[in-house]
Structure 1
Amino acid sequence: MNRAQHWLTAAYSGSRWLVPLYPLGILYRYLMSRRERAYLHGGKTVWQAPVPVIVVGNITLGGTGKSPLVAWLSHWLVSQGWRPGIVTRGYGGKGAHYPLLVTASTDPAISGDEPVMLAQQTGLCVVADPQRVRGARELVGRGCNIIISDDGLQHLALGRDIELVVVDGARGLGNERCLPAGPLREASDRLSRVDAVIVNGDLSKPLPVPTTPMQLCPQRWRCLEDNHARELTPLPFTLPVNAVAGIGHPERFFNTLRGLGIEGDMRPLADHQRFDAEVFRFDEQRPVVMTAKDAVKCRDIAPADSWVLEVEAVLPPEFEHWLAVKLSALSERGCTHG
C-alpha cells in the first residue's frame, strides 16, 4: 500500500493518528467556505455558459463512481435530443496546449486516462483543460448545446445549472473531516446545497440529505488484445487471475470481481498510476483483468491474455424524470436544445 492509499484508508476508517491534523482540517474548511462566498457574492468572476452546464463531482477524495455517471448522463442526454460535450481536468496528463480535444486514440500520457476512457465510452466531444471555463468555451464553439463538467464541483469559476454529487456508499464521508484530517474536499453541509446526491452502491451509513441510488453493473468482458467483446458468462479466461486496479477505490473493483466468482492475486495501485511492465509482474502467470480506466494506459504493454471488465451505471426511472423536468425548466428560461 502506497502512502496515498494508506492515508485514504485512515481517513475513511477514522484512524486516531489523524487527530493531530484536526486543526488543519478546520482551517481548510474555513478557507473553502470563504472561497465559495467570494464566487457567490461577486468577489471572484463566474462565467455562465450560454448553454446548460451539469456538474458531476464529489466532496471526497478517492473514487466514488463519477466517470460511470458521466458516461450514463452522456448517453441519456443524446437519447433526449441534446448535443452534449464533456469538459474535464485531464488529471495526470502532460498536454502542452489547452484546450485539448481528446479522442478515443489520444495518448493518455498527454490527456490523462479518464478523458480517453470517456471519449471511448461516449463518442462525444471531450475537452481536457485545467481551466474549465476555457474548456467549456471550446465545447460551445464546437456546437455542443449542453456541457457536462466532470469532477467540476470545486471549480466555481464555471457557472452551473445542475450539480450532481456522487458518494461511495461503502465508504460514505469517512471520518467527516476536511483535508488533511479527513477525506472531505468541502464540509459535509455542501451536500444540502447541491441538486442531487447519488449514492454508488449500498449505503453503509445514512447521509443527512435525500439520496438517489446508483448501481455499477458489469456488462461484458473486452479482450484488450483484439478489442472484441465477450459475454460475462461463461468466463472467457481461466481462473484464478491476476487483477490490477489503478483507480480511486480499488477494493470496489475487486469486490465486483469476487461477486462474479473471480478470485486471484488482487493488486491495488495508485489512482491514475502510470503503467509499465513492472505492474504486470506477478508470482504466477495468469490471465490479467483490469478496469476500463486502466486499459487505456496499457494496451501496448499488458500481457496477451488481458481482459477489461466493462461496467455501466444504472439509475432509477424517477431520477430520469427528475432530470428531464429540470432540463425542461432550463429550456423555458432560454437554454433551448435541438
Structure 2
Amino acid sequence: MSLRTALPRAWANQAPWLFWLRPLSALYAAVTGFQRLLYRLDIKKAYESPVPVMVIGNITVGGSGKTPLLIELVRYLQQEQKLGVGVISRGYGGEASTFPRIVHADDSAKVVGDEPLLIVQQTGVPMAVGANRQAAIECLLAHVAAEGSSLNLILSDDGLQHLALGRKLEWIVLDANRGIGKGWLLPAGFLRESPDRLNTATVIEHSDFPLTDDPEAGQSIYQMRLIPGDLLPLDQSMDPRAAPQPPQRVHAVAGIGNPARFFTSLRHLGFDVIEHAFADHHPYQLSDVQFKDTLPIITTAKDAQRLQGLIQQAWILPVKAWLSPACYSLLYRQLLEIGVLPDRRQIQR
C-alpha cells in the first residue's frame, strides 16, 4: 500500500498511530506560518492580476466537491450574469512538455490533467494550466485577447494556499460530513491550514442535507449538494438505454479525493456496489479495471477522463452541484463590491 492511499485511510479511521506524526505537523505549521509572515510583511509580494481573481479551494486534503462547484459557478457567471470568465489551474497530473498551456476539449487528461479537461468539456470556458499561476493568467489573457474577447473574472481552481497569487475573493468548500477531523495539520491530520482559516473566507458547506436558507435549521445557509444524473456510456457508441439498473451488482471505480462519497451515492441509487478505490488522479492501467466477471463498471466523470481509450464497457455517473439560493445572492453582492458587476441601482438613477 502506497503512502498516498495509506494516509487517507488512516485519517478516515482516525488511526492511533497518527498521534506520533504530530511533531511533523508542528514543523509543517512553522514552515507555512513563516511563509505567510513573509507575505504579510511584504518581504514576498503576491502577483496582482489585472483581472480580479476568485479562488475556489479547500483547507483539507481530498475531495470536497470543488470541481462541480466551479463548473456551476462558471455556468452562473456566463449564462446568468453574462460575464467573461476564465479559469486557471495547476493541472495536477498533466504531463505536457510545456506549461502554461491552454486546455482544449480534445486534449488528453494525461497531458493537461483530468479536472481541467472535465471543466472545459462541460463549460467551454477558456482555461490555462500551469504550476506558476502568474504565468497561467498571462497565458490565459493572451489567449482570450487573440480570440477577440475579454475577461471580467478569473476563477482559480484550487490555489488557496498559493500565497504568490493575489485574489479578491475566496470560497472554501468544506465537506460537512467529514468536517475537520481532530483539527490536526498534515501529516497527522488532513488539514492543509488551521481551522481558523475558515473565518477569513466564504465557506460553502458540502452536505447531504436538503438545501435551506433558514439559519435556525442548525446548518450554514451557504450550502451545496451533488445531485447525480443519469448514467452515461464511456464509449459514445454504446446505447444509453443499456445502462445498468438498480439493484444490479456493479464494480464502482473511483480515483478521486473521497471515493467513499461516490460509493455511497451509488448505494443510495440502489446499486449493489463492489468498491475499487484508488488514489486521487490515479494513472490507470488496464490491470486496474480488469475483473474476473462481466459485471458493469461505473465510474466518476473525473475518472472517465483517465479511462478513455483504456476500456469501453463502462458507465459514468455525472453529478451537478446544486447551491442554496443564499450562495448566489452572496456571490452577486461580492461581485458588486469588487467592481466586477455594475451597480444597476446607480445606473437606473
TM more than 0.5 = yes
Larger mean Cα displacement after TM superposition, 240-249 or 9-18? 9-18
2:227 corresponds in structure 1 to 217
2:147 corresponds in structure 1 to none
1:270 aligns with 2:279: yes
1:93 aligns with 2:113: no
Amino acid in structure 2 at the alignment position of 1:331: G
Among all aligned residue pairs of Structure 1 and Structure 2, give the percentage whose two residues are the same amino acid.
36
Q: Is the 8 A contact 1:223 1:308 kept in 2?
A: yes
Q: Is the 8 A contact 1:139 1:147 kept in 2?
A: no
Written as runs of structure 1 = structure 2, the 5 A alignment for 1:246-257 is 246-257=255-266
- For structure 2, the residue ranges without an aligned partner over 5 or more in a row are 145-149, 210-218, 344-349
For the residues of structure 1 that align with 2:317 and 2:324, how far apart are their CA atoms? 23
1:206 corresponds in structure 2 to none
Q: TM-score, normalised by structure 1?
A: 0.90
3-state DSSP of counterpart to 2:203 = strand
Q: Is the 8 A contact 1:176 1:188 kept in 2?
A: yes
1:236 aligns with 2:237: no
Q: Deviations over 1:134-187 (max 9, x none)?
A: 111222232322100001101111111110111112211122111111111111
For the residues of structure 1 that align with 2:299 and 2:22, how far apart are their CA atoms? 36
1:163 aligns with 2:179: no
2:205 corresponds in structure 1 to 199
Mark the CA change 1:332 to 1:88 in structure 2 (over 3 Å): closer, same or farther: closer
Deviation of the 1:332 alpha carbon: 7.2
1:107 corresponds in structure 2 to 108
Deviation of the 1:6 alpha carbon: 2.3
Which of 285, 297, 300 aligns to 2:309? It is: 300
Amino acid in structure 2 at the alignment position of 1:86: V
2:329 corresponds in structure 1 to 321
1:31 aligns with 2:37: no
How many residues are matched?
Answer: 326
Deviation of the 1:211 alpha carbon: 6.2
Which of 187, 204, 213 aligns to 1:180? It is: 187
For the residues of structure 2 that align with 1:286 and 1:147, how far apart are their CA atoms? 43
Q: Is the 8 A contact 2:152 2:340 kept in 1?
A: no
Deviation of the 1:96 alpha carbon: 1.4
For the residues of structure 1 that align with 2:134 and 2:5, how far apart are their CA atoms? 31
1:290 aligns with 2:283: no
For the residues of structure 1 that align with 2:152 and 2:140, how far apart are their CA atoms? 8
For the residues of structure 1 that align with 2:304 and 2:24, how far apart are their CA atoms? 37
For the residues of structure 2 that align with 1:26 and 1:167, how far apart are their CA atoms? 23
Written as runs of structure 1 = structure 2, the 5 A alignment for 1:142-153 is 142=144, 143-153=150-160
For the residues of structure 2 that align with 1:159 and 1:211, how far apart are their CA atoms? 27
Deviation of the 1:13 alpha carbon: 3.6
For the residues of structure 2 that align with 1:62 and 1:10, how far apart are their CA atoms? 13
Q: Is the 8 A contact 2:85 2:151 kept in 1?
A: yes
Q: Is the 8 A contact 1:12 1:182 kept in 2?
A: no
Mark the CA change 1:211 to 1:301 in structure 2 (over 3 Å): closer, same or farther: same
Mark the CA change 1:58 to 1:211 in structure 2 (over 3 Å): closer, same or farther: farther
For the residues of structure 2 that align with 1:122 and 1:5, how far apart are their CA atoms? 31
Deviation of the 1:210 alpha carbon: 5.5
Q: Is the 8 A contact 2:228 2:317 kept in 1?
A: yes
Larger mean Cα displacement after TM superposition, 171-180 or 1-10? 1-10
Q: Deviations over 1:19-59 (max 9, x none)?
A: 11112211211221221122222111211112221100111
Q: Is the 8 A contact 2:301 2:316 kept in 1?
A: yes
